[in-house]
Structure 1
Amino acid sequence: MITYQIVFEGTIISSATFDKADFTPETLTCVDQSGTIDRVISAADTDYQRVKQTAKNNGSLYQVPKGSYLLPGFTDLHIHAPQWPQAGLALDKPLNEWLNTYTFPLESKFKDLDFAKKVYQSLVKELLANGTTTGLYFGSVHTDANLILARICADLGQRAFIGKVAMDNKDQTPDYYRDDSSEAALQETERFIKEMLSLQKETQANLTPVITPRFVPSCTDETLLGLGQLAQKYDLPVQSHCSESIWEDSYAIDCFQMTDAQVLDKFNLLTDKAVMAHGTQLRDSDLDLFSHNHSAIAHCPISNAYFGNSVMRVNEANKRNVTVGLGTDISGGFSPSIYRNMQQSIMSSQMLEDSGTDNARLSADNVFYLATVGGAKALHIPVGQIKSGFKADLQIVQDQYFDVFSNEPQEIFERLVYHTNKENIKQVYVSGKLVHENRGEE
């Protein structure tokens, strides 16, 4: 009989489809030594008691407390790591002022590696405490600072996808914060890739380098072309922004006589490993291009409320078989919590429907799918569901109103989506290893 790394006994909540989350009580979730879920055993299975007793005997049984539930960890598809110190700052300003007065000066500070280490330690710990087991990060232009972020993710146990930001267009970037040239942007990107792959091998951590043009306006054609070639050479994911706002969308039309999505496609950046953030201005033809290329969208509802000029059409994208996950967009989004972004997704979708877009409304089941399965599919990783063959990236969440409110399964689930905060997330696991524990009052 297999000796498991850990066996969780308790109720699990995991997405079955885009429209339905399963609530399964009295379950054993059995995690093997590689951190993969080997079996999910229900109380009705004949060997339930035998597996439970064996786990109890060898000290690998963890009984989820009454009123708490086992959920998949979340994937955050859009994090600007160097912007963490300004989360919640100046969000009442226009985007151009926000970038030039606050964001670019802050990001330029990450040439100071001690500053980078201090900020990134804080950020990664905060994300783990909020149940985010996988992060897709924009770094800064500084290769060495980005490698510090990677090592911190490795040390703290988070599954991390990280990109060195490329930005060399002198007309759209400040002289104190940009790559010196296209050649420099591409050379440093390739150095970052090689260093990241070496670090991954050294640490055996879940680290992946990502090709990262900041967005079309910030890069010259030469850089966009070179980044597309690097993505192909190393078979790597790509991340950028796409049609985030009216301004960005119009820039592509004015400069290329193409939509933002078409420009990215032209430079071989809209690949089957691409995750493009925001997409509030995407046309039906753009969504069809995403679908054809098997590219994914990071929906950032809090950030979009400030800078997106619209609400991203999640249901329309899903109807067209476009993979969609959630992103916090620290710091255009002020909160590091995917729970907060699930809530905002639902609220924003109702506003979109009220403004005349039919069938735009999202449910708690829909947004939970985005936070778990959607993000995992976007990054092509076996996480986001509690079932055999998936990595045990998990969170144990306490229902703070268990003793007061209804305990009907659907009502418990919706309550967790709407009311969970960091204090309610009691433990977080990546590949079956404990990476965060809330030692506060039960």
Structure 2
Amino acid sequence: MIDITMIKFAVLADCFHCPVKGEFAFNIDWLLLIDHQGDIAATYQPQHPEYADLLATFKRNDSLQVIPKGEYLLPGLVDLHCHAPQWPQAGKGLDLPLYDWLQNYTFPLENRYSDNDFAANVYQDVTKTLLANGTTSAVYFASIHRQSTELLAQTCLNVGQRAFVGKVNMDNSDQCPAYYCEPSVTQAIDDTELFVNNVFELAGNQSRLVHPVITPRFVPSCTSELLQQLGGLVQRYDLHMQTHCSESDWARDYSIQHYGVSDVTIYADMGLLNNKSILAHSIFLNQADIEKINQFKAGIGHCPLSNMYFANAAMPTRELLDHGVQIGLGSDIAGAPSPSIFRASFDAVSHSRVREEGVDIYLPASKRGTANARISFVEAFWMATVGGGQVLDAKVGLFEQGYHFDAIVIKANSAIGNLRIWPEFDSAKDILEKIITLAQPENVAKVWVQGNAVI
């Protein structure tokens, strides 16, 4: 029997998770044991010979948390791409082309984050909002300002969210507005390296709940010298890296015209790719790009809704999954308005269905779309949990021994929200699909991160 003294608490629940891509498991009355570090020490099914004794012991010790029937335990959701400073502009200007949207809304807003008081209010709100939507791990772009970016990291630590936070780097004066641009490569690198060390040294961050992330905005916004020196930081400190990759025709063409190669090759040549690299969007990839992403074990943050607004194309998610590319989901606040990764899961399915069926009514059905392009709701949920964890090289997204206990409880009843479960009609698969399509913050009854209840 497991050493009970090593266990902080146990949870008894009906649980969903996806141990295998494309499949889900629904375990009734599952017993999960959480150790003092907030990791899953063991799991027990009711038929296990030690199950009854363990259940009785934890009840007697008052260390058993029972999730009521009609509520469901799920792994916490992973958001691989969120622009935290853009939260105040969510839902605005989505009719504009990307360049105009950035110039008219984004850059003026992000420049406000030189004011730490302004930043504090926004960062408190966005981190708590994502947690309320069930996002236990979030990858944040901040702004070019080191101090307020450190404030974002501290805020994530204070609210208890697992976070990967990056100070944005952008120094190409041909592409960046004069008021929102790094003064020099030297200053940008010095600030970024100081930021990295300051995040590592945050009081209470010994377990590395919050990670610094190297963050070149995207190829056009950075000079080659800055990209190369940022790559040096990735290699020197073995850091996560996040950026936009091949998001649009314009971005792809810019790289080809100025470097003669694709975004993926540029990032690889600059030392920016590793097994913790998050390439947001990554729509316009060629076969060599796919092979290089797999070679480095990098991953993609798929942002289906913002792609519909700003990329003018649909990512070939089905094909990339079939090629073994690591893919998770991103909200892309504020390129898309919703902070919910459940919504991103739903949009990923819709995105794939539109690709498969096509939209041009003047073409015959057989020529209208891309055959066999769809993904399932289960695959979308896998990306929202396990896939995101794989991209981050983090033990999140599964209820298995050794994984961090990052979890959410989804509550469905007729008094709140739109989520309704009808036991007479709904199978386990039906329930999971309904959660993905209908769950709202009011259905998120409880949230744990690293074994700590944060909601």
- TM interval, shorter chain, is over 0.9
> Is residue 154–residue 203 contact of structure 1 (8 Å, CA) maintained in 2?
no
Counterpart of 2:217 in structure 1 is: 214
Q: Indicate whether 1:422 and 2:441 are aligned.
A: yes
> Is residue 133–residue 441 contact of structure 2 (8 Å, CA) maintained in 1?
yes
Counterpart of 1:439 in structure 2 is: none
Counterpart of 2:36 in structure 1 is: 33
Counterpart of 1:79 in structure 2 is: 82
Counterpart of 1:334 in structure 2 is: 337
2:246 to 229, 243, 247: 243
Counterpart of 2:167 in structure 1 is: 164
1 CA distance for matches of 2:266 and 2:67? 49
> Is residue 35–residue 431 contact of structure 1 (8 Å, CA) maintained in 2?
yes
Structure 1 residues 405 and 228, CA, compared in 2 at 3 Å: closer, same or farther? farther
Counterpart of 1:411 in structure 2 is: 430
Shift of 1:110: 0.3
> Is residue 228–residue 268 contact of structure 1 (8 Å, CA) maintained in 2?
yes
**Larger deviation: 337-346 or 263-272?**
263-272
Shift of 1:26: 1.6
Query: Could you say what secondary structure the match of 1:177 adopts?
Result: coil
Query: Could you say what secondary structure the match of 2:96 adopts?
Result: coil
User: How many percent identity over aligned positions?
Assistant: 41
1 CA distance for matches of 2:8 and 2:311? 44
Query: What is the TM-score normalised by the length of structure 2?
Result: 0.94
1:50 to 49, 53, 56: 53
Instruction: For 1:312, give the aligned amino acid.
Output: M
Counterpart of 1:368 in structure 2 is: 381
2 CA distance for matches of 1:403 and 1:361? 27
Counterpart of 2:300 in structure 1 is: 297
2 CA distance for matches of 1:306 and 1:314? 17
2:103 to 100, 103, 108: 100
Offset from partner CA, 1:300-335 (integer Å, 9 cap, x none): 011111011111111211222210000001110111
2 CA distance for matches of 1:193 and 1:405? 53
Shift of 1:203: 5.9
2 CA distance for matches of 1:168 and 1:255? 16
2 CA distance for matches of 1:303 and 1:341? 10
2 CA distance for matches of 1:23 and 1:410? 9
Shift of 1:58: 1.4
After TM superposition, where is structure 1 displaced by more than 4 Å over at least 4 residues in a row?
200-205
Shift of 1:6: 2.1
Query: What is the TM-score normalised by the length of structure 1?
Result: 0.96
1 CA distance for matches of 2:424 and 2:181? 53
Shift of 1:89: 0.7
Shift of 1:54: 1.2
2 CA distance for matches of 1:325 and 1:43? 32
2 CA distance for matches of 1:25 and 1:360? 33
Is there any run of 5+ residues in structure 2 with no aligned partner, and where? 359-368, 413-418
2 CA distance for matches of 1:66 and 1:319? 37
Counterpart of 2:259 in structure 1 is: 256
Shift of 1:403: 4.2
* CA RMSD after TM alignment: 1.3
Counterpart of 1:282 in structure 2 is: 285
Instruction: For 2:398, give the aligned amino acid.
Output: Q
Shift of 1:121: 0.2
Counterpart of 1:65 in structure 2 is: 68
Aligned residues: 436
Counterpart of 2:271 in structure 1 is: 268
Offset from partner CA, 1:400-419 (integer Å, 9 cap, x none): 31247623111111111111
Q: Indicate whether 1:189 and 2:201 are aligned.
A: no
1 CA distance for matches of 2:154 and 2:64? 31
Instruction: For 1:416, give the aligned amino acid.
Output: I
